[in-house]
Amino acid sequence: MKSTRTIDIHHITRVEGHGNISITVKDGRLIEARWEVVETPRFFEAMLVGKKWENAPWISGRICGICSIGHTLASIRAVENAFGIVPDEQTASLRLLLKHMETLQSHVLHLYFLAAPDFLNVGSVFPLINSHPDVVQRAAKIKQLANDLCDCVGGRRMHPTRTVVGGFTMLPEKKELVRFKERLNEIKTDLLDTAELFRSFAIPDFSRETEFVSLQGNGAYPFIGGNLVSSDGVVKKEQEYAAMTNEYLVEQSTSKWSHLSRPSFAVGALARLNNNFALLNPAAQEVSVSFGLKPINHNPYMNNIAQLVECVHVVLDSLRLIDELLGMSWKKPRHPAVPKAGIGVGAVEVPRGILYHCYEFDDEGRIVRCDCVIPTSQNHANIQHDLSALAEQCASQGKQDREIELLAQMLVRSYDPCISCSVH
Amino acid sequence: MDASQAQNRTYLGMPLARPRVAFFELSSCEGCQLQIVNNEANLLDFLSLVTVVNFREAMTEKSDAYDIAFVEGSVTRADEIERLAVIRKNAKVLVAFGSCACFGGVTQLKNRFKDPAWVKKQVYGDRSIQTNDTARPLEDFVSVDLRIYGCPVKKEEVEKIVTHVVLGRSIVQPKYPVCMECKENENTCLFDLGEPCLGPVTRGGCDSWCPNSRFGCWGCRGPAEDANVGQLQVIMKQYGFTEETLLDRLECFGGFAKDAEQLRTNMKLSPRRHEGTK
Ligand code: SF4
Ligand code: SF4
Ligand code: SF4
């Protein structure tokens, strides 16, 4: 067939925010593939200017409803780093537990509600309520546990109320933590069943070599703070984040883009796993290997599997954390903050990749300058390059429009993009 | 419950219609929509009450034939005004869903600068970017039938309101302040713990969500009936909080926009405070 065909997907579904895909193929050759981000900007970086430090976590958490806990923790860390506050062990463990449950909640939401329908040939999770009730109930059960534990530690599953600079406004009851231990133990089998489900899916066979950026684990699989690392060998300090992200503006996007050693890089579960595989819990490593997922894996669709592996890791690590917390006698939940002039950076691994908040303060603790670099904005260039390579491969194989359309959407969904977050 | 059963539901012997609902988002964090999905325990019951025909965040299928439209987010760009007009035309009931839709939400914090060029430059430098000068609530552009307050909305309240709509009952929003619920919950008042709180002037209905966590209210649900902001100002002063602290909370979600504007004028406070008069 000799012709020019264009595949246009306006506002791709089952992703957070608004993005378009456009692919033009002529006589079996790719003319252009474009990933466009059309989300409206909300101007958080301007909004915070002039505000006192205590506003930052509360307001900037509203950048994203899905990873509001991650944003809140990155913001708190940036403020604490600027003021020279080091969280005590109790606060650090509670924050990590909270972080783990956000990771679990978000990954399960993505794996079951956003990604799985493609593999099961339906348009959404809703038809699965009747056709696969056990699958939907399992997803709901895991998500509910994660969200309930977020409520218990953070006060609220979305836009948390207990997380503040200097610690927490109040602490969970230990007997509640004991109950959560039981529930965490219970869902281990649900996670193995999740792995079984994904083993039955045909993950598209596509690879394109790229660079992976994440926190660098130091004795533990990394989530909050520390050095930054890339699979091409770049290592930077947390406060040097701007040299890692190199943001720039492009015509096709209201979100900024990033690059490092190559034209694009990737962040997220696959990047974390590629860079820190040896630090995963052994049981999580085992699941990973059973899918043939070992570092360095360059198939972007495997980000789904990397998320699954991380679900196993965070559940097992949460059990460890709860034991550790139960062994501590509760200390004062919160330490006072004394503002001072300076710059603070907070780097946190949120479900979709590494997130940075950076604030500059005057001597009364008012924000003079604010910068937030979002995981999805770091991924946009990589999505664009993947999309071009995928479309070219599909065109040369003579694939039908329907198939190209599906593969392209699945590619974008694999990144689990949070588009409104990326524009913010 | 399967679909055919759901179609035949009755209430007090009357057949129950199963309204077709649609979810849309303008400029938002999508958190209010997510609250629906986040409600694992009752999600399936909730879904049996309605037919979801449009929910881009969760489904690929879509339809423009719907009875109830939940619109999340504030209006910040010309194309959103057009989308909103179409939704208004299609929907029998248009719900402003969450504080962004009701008041502008956190996004309206950019309005205070009164300097749209500076706001754009702060994020995009010299690149031109399409955006309206101010972030506005839905009611500035279309008529709104129902408001569900909160940042985020409280899922129990959403369920209650939707059930009432389905059953054709009238909806009564709380007029009393958060303090009422807080006292019922037997919390220690935050003022006595040295924390500021907007509970005395903020519309209840959230079951004093934040004070339950020993975190003061920031007024996300907007003013209660007969809210006396002047009196709160006196209380805040008595407890040693600055006007700036009060202003930060009043202006955070847009529900108290007029009071905040008034206070800022009285304080002669520049929105970019560190380079302003204070
Ligand atoms: S009201 Fe709050 S939770 Fe809802 S969309 Fe707006 S920012 Fe998000
Ligand atoms: S904590 Fe806030 S809401 Fe509760 S009684 Fe005190 S002022 Fe009212
Ligand atoms: S306590 Fe205040 S800020 Fe918190 S949810 Fe209720 S109205 Fe909103």
| CA–CA gap between residue A292 and residue A298 (Å, rounded) | 12
Binning pLDDT at 50, 70 and 90, where does residue A14 land?
A: confident
pLDDT for B123 equals 92
Residues B155 and B191 in one domain: no
| CA–CA gap between residue B179 and residue B7 (Å, rounded) | 42
pLDDT for B14 equals 54
Residues B151 and B34 in one domain: yes
| CA–CA gap between residue B64 and residue B68 (Å, rounded) | 11
Q: The CATH number of the domain where B108 resides is what?
A: 3.40.50.700
Nearest to A39 by CA among B237, B80, B52, B8: B80
Interval A80-86 mean pLDDT: 98
Q: Nearest CB to B27: which of A42, A54, A366?
A: A42
pLDDT for B9 equals 56
pLDDT for A298 equals 98
φ, ψ (nearest 5 deg) of residue B76 = -130, 0
Residues B95 and B200 in one domain: no
| CA–CA gap between residue A86 and residue A335 (Å, rounded) | 10
Q: Is B198 a member of any domain?
A: yes
For the CA atoms of B109, B110, B113, B115, the dihedral, rounded to the nearest 10 degrees, stands at -160
User: Are residues B85 and B141 in contact, defined by beta-carbon separation less than 8 angstroms?
Assistant: yes
| CA–CA gap between residue B14 and residue A295 (Å, rounded) | 61
Ligand 2 touching residue B162 (CB < 6 A): no
Which of B108, B138, B167 is the last residue before a domain boundary? B167
pLDDT for A346 equals 98
Q: Nearest CB to A123: which of B61, B119, B274?
A: B61
Residues B146 and B235 in one domain: no
The alpha carbon of residue A273 is apart from the nearest alpha carbon of chain B, in Å, by 27
pLDDT for B52 equals 86
Q: Is B202 a member of any domain?
A: yes
pLDDT for B65 equals 85
Residues B130 and B235 in one domain: no
Ligand 3 touching residue B208 (CB < 6 A): yes
| CA–CA gap between residue A61 and residue A74 (Å, rounded) | 9
* 3-state DSSP assignment of residue A424: coil
DSSP A252: T
CB pairs under 8 A between A and B: 176
pLDDT for B62 equals 81
φ, ψ (nearest 5 deg) of residue B73 = 100, 165
Residue A216 has which token pair? 């660098």
Closest residue by Cα to atom 5, ligand 3, is: B209
| CA–CA gap between residue A157 and residue A142 (Å, rounded) | 14
Residues B12 and B97 in one domain: yes
Which of B167, B194, B218 is the last residue before a domain boundary? B167
Nearest to A280 by CA among A350, A226, A232, A223: A223
Which pLDDT tens digit goes with each residue over A255-287?
A: 999 999 999 999 999 999 999 999 999 999 999
Query: For A409, which residue in chain B has the nearest alpha carbon?
Result: B60
Cβ distance of B110 and A42 shorter than 8 Å: yes
Residues B134 and B28 in one domain: yes
Kindly state whether B16 is in contact with chain A, defined as any CB-CB distance less than 8 angstroms.
no
Residues B149 and B17 in one domain: yes
Give the position, in ligand 1's atom list, of the atom nearest the Cα of A65: 8
Averages of pLDDT over each 10 residues, chain B, 278 residues: 45 67 93 85 76 81 87 97 96 96 98 94 91 97 96 90 83 94 98 97 97 98 96 97 97 97 90 63
Distance of CA B244 from the midpoint of ligand 3 (Å): 19
Distance of CA B29 from the midpoint of ligand 1 (Å): 5
Closest residue by Cα to atom 7, ligand 2, is: B199
| CA–CA gap between residue A104 and residue A315 (Å, rounded) | 8
Q: Is B278 a member of any domain?
A: no
Cβ distance of A147 and B40 shorter than 8 Å: yes
Higher pLDDT, A333 or B42: A333
Cβ distance of A40 and B47 shorter than 8 Å: no
Residues B161 and B217 in one domain: no
Give the position, in ligand 3's atom list, of the atom nearest the Cα of B208: 1
Q: Which residues contact B202 (CB under 8 A, 6 or more apart)?
A: B177, B178, B217, B219, B220, B221, B222, B223, B224, B227, B255
Binning pLDDT at 50, 70 and 90, where does residue A349 land?
A: very high
In this predicted structure, the answer to whether residue A328 has a pLDDT above a threshold of 80 is yes
Range of the domain at B227: 178-266
Residues of chain B positioned with their CB less than 8 A from the CB of A59: 106, 109, 252
Residues B61 and B163 in one domain: yes
Kindly list the structural domains of chain A, giving each domain's residue range(s) and its CATH number in brackets, ordered by start.
Answer: 44-375 (1.10.645.10)
Ligand 3 touching residue B55 (CB < 6 A): no
Rg of chain B, C-alpha, whole Å: 21
Q: Nearest CB to B31: which of A65, A123, A126?
A: A65
Q: Is B277 a member of any domain?
A: no
pLDDT for A5 equals 85
Kindly state whether B124 is in contact with chain A, defined as any CB-CB distance less than 8 angstroms.
yes
Residues of chain B positioned with their CB less than 8 A from the CB of A155: 210, 212-213, 215
Residue found under tokens 């956003």: A114
* 3-state DSSP assignment of residue A387: helix
pLDDT for B7 equals 46
pLDDT for B265 equals 92
pTM metric for this prediction? 0.95
Q: Is the ipTM of this complex over 0.95?
A: no
Q: Nearest CB to B58: which of A63, A113, A144?
A: A113
Ligand 3 touching residue B202 (CB < 6 A): yes
Residues B157 and B188 in one domain: no
**Residue B259 CA: distances (Å) to CA of A58, B136, B229, B230, B255:** 21, 17, 7, 9, 9
| CA–CA gap between residue A390 and residue B2 (Å, rounded) | 40
Residues B27 and B78 in one domain: yes
What is chain A's mean pLDDT, rounded?
A: 96
Kindly state whether B187 is in contact with chain A, defined as any CB-CB distance less than 8 angstroms.
no
Domain count, chain B: 2
